[in-house]
Amino acid sequence: MKDIIIIGGGIIGCSIARELSRFSADILLLEKGNDVSVGTTKANSGIVHGGHDAYPNSKKAYYNVKGNAMFDQLSKELDFPFRRNGSMVLCFNEDLKCGLNDLLARGEQNGVKGLYIVDGDKAREMEPHLSKSVVAALVIPSGGIVSPYEMAVAYAENACTNGVEFRFLSEVTGLKKEDGIFTVTCADGYTEQAKVVVNAAGLFADEINNLICERKYQVQPRKGDYMLMDKSVGYLADHTLFQQPTKMGKGILVTPTTHGNILVGPTATDKLDKDDVNTTIEELGEAFAKALVSVPTLNKRTIITQFSGLRAHIPENDFVVEESEVEGFYNCLGIESPGLSAAPAIAVEVAGWVAEKLALKANANFVATRKAIPQFSHLSNIDRQKLIDQNPLYGNIVCRCEVVTEGEIVESIRRKPGAVDLDGVKRRTRAGMGRCQAGFCTPRIMEIIARELNLPLEEVTKRGGASQVVFGRTK
C-alpha cells in the first residue's frame, strides 16, 4: 500500500509529486501515457501570466498570482527555461481603451504589481514590430514565458530523485474507498491501495472524479491551434502580446518562446473528443490572420510547424482545487489557463493539505535542486570542450538545426523518468524541434533510442501507442 497515489503526470501531477516528496511518504504517480507531459502540458502557450485576466476572488486569480511569484526561484532550483519577458494587452480601438482600464483595475484587485497603460507610440517603442493600429496597451511586467514540458520534466525528475515512483501506461479505470483505504485499478489490471488520492488527470479529471464522487463534473475539451515560427524571426516580439480578451479566452497571442521562436495562437474551439488534436486549415488561417493584426510583418513562410492542444475547460469556469466530498480524495480539476502559471502554487497548497491529513514528517533526504541536461548549444566553447572530454558522445551532433548532441539524447533517455520515444527526446533536448523538423535526425535518434532501451528499431515510436515510425526491415 502507498501513502499517496497521484493520478496524472502533467504539470499539476508532477508539481504535486515534487512538493509531496518534501515529506517522508510512499508516493506513486500513475500516468495514462508513456511519459510525463503528454497531454495539455505539452501543447499550450507556455505563458506565465501576470494574473490580470482572471476574475477577482476566483481560484484562478489566487493561484495565478501566487504561482507567478514562485517562478524565479523555482526555475533556478529545477533548472528549466523561464524568462520574465513581460506581457502586453493590445488595444486597437479608441472606443475599447476603457477595457484596458478595467483589466488594469482587475489585475490590481488580484494583487498583480506594476501594471501600467501606455499609448500606441510608447507600445511601439517597446515592441517595434507592433501594428500601427495599436492605440494603447496594458503592460504586465510580471508576465513571463516558460517551456511547459521542460518544467514538467524538471518537476518529475526532482520528484523521482526524492523517491516518488512513476508508473506509465497506467490508465485509471477504477477507484473506490473502503474502510478508509482507496483502491485504484488500472486498465492493464494493475491495482494499488493508498491512504490519499490526488486527481490531477487534466482533461480526464472529470472521469476520475466521477468514479468516486457524488458531485459530478464534465470537462469540456477546448482546442487551440498554434503555429511555431523559425528562430530567424524571433526578433518580431519580445513581450508576450495579447489582444483584448473575449469570453472564449485570452484571444490570439504572439509570443517569443524560451528558445527564441515565435509562437502564434491559440484558437478556441469546443470539441467532443478529448483526443481531438486535429489542426484545421480554417483555424490555422484564423489564428494567423488575427496574429497579423498585432504584428503585421509575420510571414507564413517562416512557420516551421503547427500543432494544437486541448484545454480542460469546465462550465464552472474556475479551478476546482479541493479536498472533495470524499475524505482523502483531492481534486485538481478544470485546470485550464492560467494553470501552468498556477501550478507551483497549487502544488504547494495541495501537498500541504495532504501532509497535514497524513501527518507527514519532513523528508530528511529531500534534494531541492535538479540540474537540466547540459545544453551543448548554449555552452561556451570551453565548456563544450570539457563536456566532450568527459563524454565524447557530446561531440556527435545529431540534430543539426538545434545543435543537439548524442550525449544529450542519451542522457534524456537514461534519466528517470526518461524519454522512451521521439517526442520524449524532443521535449527534453529539442532534437527534431528545429527548422528541418527532424528530417535529418529522425533515423539517428531512432537508432539511439533502440540502442539505449534495447528495442528493435521497428518498436521505436513517435509518441507511444501505435505511433511506430517504421514497419520492420525491407529485407
Partner 1 sequence: MRKMNLVIVGGGPAGLAAAKAAYDCGERDILILEREAELGGILNQCIHNGFGLHTFKEELTGPEYAQRYIDQVVERGIEYRVNATVIDVSKDKVVTYVSAVDGLTQIQAKAIILACGCRERPRGGINIAGMRGAGVFSAGTAQKLVNIDGYMPGKECVILGSGDIGLIMARRMTFEGAKVKAVVELMPYSSGLNRNIVQCLNDFDIPLYFSHTVVDIKGKDRVTGVVVAPVDEKLAPIMDKAELIECDTLLLSVGLLPENELAKQGGVELSNVTGGAVVDENMMTNIDGVFECGNVLHVHDLVDFVSAESENAGKCAVAYINGLESCAEKIAINCTNGVRYCVPTQLNRDDNYQPLNFKMRVANVFKKVELAVFADGVKVFGKKRPVVAPGEMESINLTAEQVETLKKAQHIEITLIK
Stretch binding partner 1 (CB under 8 A), from 7-15, 194-202, 344-352, 465-473: 465-473
Query: DSSP secondary-structure letter at 150?
Result: H
Window 294 to 333, contacts with partner 1 (CB under 8 A): 300-301, 303-307
Nearer to partner 1, 354 or 410 (CB): 410
Contact between residue 308 and residue 321 where contact means Cβ atoms under 8 Å apart? no
Short-list 274, 264, 214, CA closest to 237: 264
- The smaller minimum CB distance to partner 1, of residues 365 and 467, is found at 467
What part of residues 444-463 is at the interface with partner 1 (CB under 8 A)? 447, 457-458, 461-463
- Nearest CB to partner 1, comparing residues 63 and 394: 394
- The least CB distance from residue 211 to partner 1, in Å, is 24
Between CA 187 and CA 197 the distance in angstroms is 17
Could you please report the per-residue DSSP string of 329-393?
EEEEE---TTHHHHHHHHHHHHHHHHHHHHTPPB-TT-----PPPP-GGGS-HHHHHHHHHH-GG
**Phi and psi based region of residue 25 (left: phi greater than 0; alpha: psi -120 to 50; beta: remaining):** beta
389: cell is 572530454
- CA gap 42, 34 in Å, rounded: 13
164 binds partner 1 (CB under 8 A): no
Instruction: Examine residue 247 and tell whether it contacts partner 1 (CB under 8 A).
Output: no
153's CB contacts (< 8 A; 6+ apart) are: 14, 36, 37, 80, 427, 428
SS (H, E, C) 37-60: CCCHHHCCCCEECCCCCCCCCCHH
Which one, 69 or 304, has the nearer CB to partner 1?
Answer: 304
Catalytic (active site) residue 378: no
Task: Of 276, 394, 295, 326, give the one whose Cα is nearest residue 92.
Answer: 295
Does the footprint of partner 1 cover residue 272 (CB under 8 A)? no
Q: Interface with partner 1 includes 375 (CB under 8 A)?
A: no
Residue 395 is a binding residue for partner 1 (CB under 8 A): yes
CB of 308 to partner 1, least distance (A): 8
> Given the complex with partner 1, which of 259 and 463 has the nearer CB atom?
463
Nearer to partner 1, 22 or 444 (CB): 444
Among 141, 165, 440, 459, binds partner 1 (CB under 8 A): 440
> Does 173 sit near partner 1 (CB under 8 A)?
no
Q: Which of 49, 52, 129, 239 is catalytic?
A: 49
How far, CA to CA in Å, does 213 sit from each of 217, 336, 354? 9, 21, 18
Of 403, 415, 453, 455, which lies in the binding site for partner 1, with binding defined by CB under 8 A?
403
Q: What is the DSSP secondary-structure string of 125-141?
A: HHSTTS-TT--EEEEET
Report if residue 368 touches partner 1, rule: CB under 8 A: no
Query: What are the residue numbers of the active site?
Result: 49
Residues of this chain that interact with partner 1 (CB under 8 A) are 227-228, 232, 275, 277-281, 283-284, 300-301, 303-307, 381, 384-385, 388-389, 392-397, 400-401, 403, 405, 435-440, 442-443, 447, 457-458, 461-475
